[in-house]
Structure 1
Amino acid sequence: MSRTGGSLHTYAQSGDLAGVKTLIESNKNVVNSKDEDERTPLHWSVSGGHLPIVDFLLSQGATIDAQDDAAWTPLMIASSSGRIDIAERLIRAGADVQAQNDNGQSSLHYAASKKQPEIVDMLLGAGADPNMRDKYEQTPLFRAAALGYTNIARMLIRAKARINIKDFVGNTPLHVAIEGGNGDLAVMLMQTGADVDVENMEKMAPIEMTKDTNLKKFIEKALVE
């Protein structure tokens, strides 16, 4: 790509608003220029956490849902990196909360994976589907369950996330919670309707996903209480 485009990406990433303004005012066609990874200046300003540059780029016609070579949008970057103020600005400006990248993952998948409850709340409020599946047929609840993020799991369930949904190998969120050693989250799932007897494609019930005897006892105790 052109040197001008490359410089604009550098300015956007580093937070040089004056440099960004100078280049765009001299050639507005570069506002949506893409680098070798097909990222636009908006992608890089979001990655760098530079809200004033995000605002300026949007005012100059930056494509809000531009996708890079892996189909990541600026909102996905903000959601993954915990840029709360930028995520809010993008959502208010009309960013697509349902967009999916090459892995089938949405901004909500990333906010759940990276333990970003404020962004999860914003995305759900803007209509993000808590039951959207990625290429492994996993929803955001699987990510929260696997990583032990009980608060985020509760938020997703309140938003009607399906508790007994299965992924491509037949695991449910309860399977992955127990496999990840997340006893408290597993108990919460059971208390909110998770099926403790459902088997995956290997004929394993959730409790069989761990060899940790203490965790098994913890889960079994919760089952009889």
Structure 2
Amino acid sequence: MRRSMWRVMGLFSKKRQQSPSGSTSGQSCAATSTTSAYELQEKDLGRLHRAAAHGNLAWLRRWHWWLKRVSINRRDKEKRTPLHLACANGHADVVSFLVQENCQLNLTDNFKRSPLMKAVQCQQEKCVAILLEHGADPNLADADGNTALHLAVLSPNTAVAGLLLEHNANIDAQNQEGYTPLNLAVSKHHKEMVEFLQKKGADGHAQDQRERTALMVATFAEDMNAIQLLLWHGADSLIGI
């Protein structure tokens, strides 16, 4: 591995010459949003959405009979269901209540993000666990092609990523830029997540739309930690060295 390391280091200047945008190391990736929580306009929320957003379980239980007459999956102006808002704000008790009332788990908002995706984005681990245990789909893709696992990588949160993988999340799913969760973790310099995904069997040979593997992305960024991890897991052949 040591000889391979020196060969990769020798490629740094060559790679930068080949790609003027090499320093971005994934900044062009569609999964760059750092805003996860919803911006709530109280005046635009109905009673049901407001109760879910604020974790008002007592109100939901008191008006249980009313919920039978209206759709528990009612959407607001941004196509968010009460479940979306409860998940984003970490109200696990409300999430459990809504699930028990047979709400739909996989409806998506304006950005095509499901309640599970919002729970992952906002690092609400209890909500993630509840949704997965009741059959929420971990492989839906949002408007940028990102799955819940991509969003877990951006956090970064290995505990949430582990939950997703335990419930059959596709470890090598690609977003619109062709980034797998592993390539995304490398591009964001999330060393712990890179190591975690490799131990879970992520495919280091996967290429993005620019035909770059995880090792190439790490090389462009001169990320020695990621390079060492990738080489340790047998990435030599990925850039023809």
Same fold (TM over 0.5): yes
Name the structure 2 match of 1:112.
153
CA contact (8 A) 1:24 1:30 kept: no
Name the structure 1 match of 2:111.
70
Give runs of aligned pairs for residues 130-145 of structure 1, distance below 5 A: 130-145=171-186
Name the structure 2 match of 1:218.
none
Q: Tell me the CA shift for residue 193 of structure 1.
A: 1.6
The AA in structure 2 aligned to 1:26 is W
Name the structure 2 match of 1:147.
188
Alignment gaps of 5+ in structure 2:
1-42
- More contact order relative to length (CA 8 Å, sep ≥ 6): 2
The AA in structure 2 aligned to 1:16 is N
Counterpart-to-counterpart distance in 1, 2:142 and 2:168? 18
Q: Tell me the CA shift for residue 130 of structure 1.
A: 0.8
Q: Tell me the CA shift for residue 61 of structure 1.
A: 1.5
The AA in structure 1 aligned to 2:197 is L
Tell me which moved more, 151-160 or 129-138: 151-160
Q: Identify which of 30, 52, 57 aligns with 1:12.
A: 52
Q: Tell me the CA shift for residue 196 of structure 1.
A: 6.8
Q: Tell me the CA shift for residue 113 of structure 1.
A: 1.4
Give runs of aligned pairs for residues 7-156 of structure 1, distance below 5 A: 7-28=47-68, 29-156=70-197
Counterpart-to-counterpart distance in 1, 2:46 and 2:175? 32
For each residue in 1:99-155, what CA deviation from the matched residue of structure 2 results, as whole angstroms up to 9, or x when unmatched? Answer: 111211111111111111101111111111111111111110012111222222222
For each residue in 1:77-101, what CA deviation from the matched residue of structure 2 results, as whole angstroms up to 9, or x when unmatched? Answer: 1111111111111111111111111
Structure with a larger share of its residues in helix: 1
Alignment gaps of 5+ in structure 1:
200-204, 206-225
Q: What do you get for the CA RMSD once the two structures are aligned?
A: 2.1
The AA in structure 2 aligned to 1:93 is H
Name the structure 1 match of 2:230.
189
Counterpart-to-counterpart distance in 1, 2:148 and 2:85? 17
Counterpart-to-counterpart distance in 1, 2:90 and 2:222? 34
CA contact (8 A) 1:5 1:34 kept: no
Counterpart-to-counterpart distance in 1, 2:235 and 2:118? 32
Structure 1 segments, 4+ long, off by >6 Å, are none
Counterpart-to-counterpart distance in 2, 1:80 and 1:25? 32
For each residue in 1:9-56, what CA deviation from the matched residue of structure 2 results, as whole angstroms up to 9, or x when unmatched? Answer: 111111111233344531322310000110100000000100010011
The AA in structure 2 aligned to 1:154 is E
Identity %: 26
- For residue 31 of structure 1, give the secondary structure of its aligned residue in structure 2: coil
Counterpart-to-counterpart distance in 2, 1:25 and 1:177? 56
The AA in structure 1 aligned to 2:56 is D
Name the structure 1 match of 2:199.
158
- For residue 128 of structure 1, give the secondary structure of its aligned residue in structure 2: coil
TM-score (ref. length: structure 1): 0.81
Is 1:176 the counterpart of 2:222 in the alignment? no
Change (3 A) 1:54 1:197: closer
Name the structure 2 match of 1:211.
none
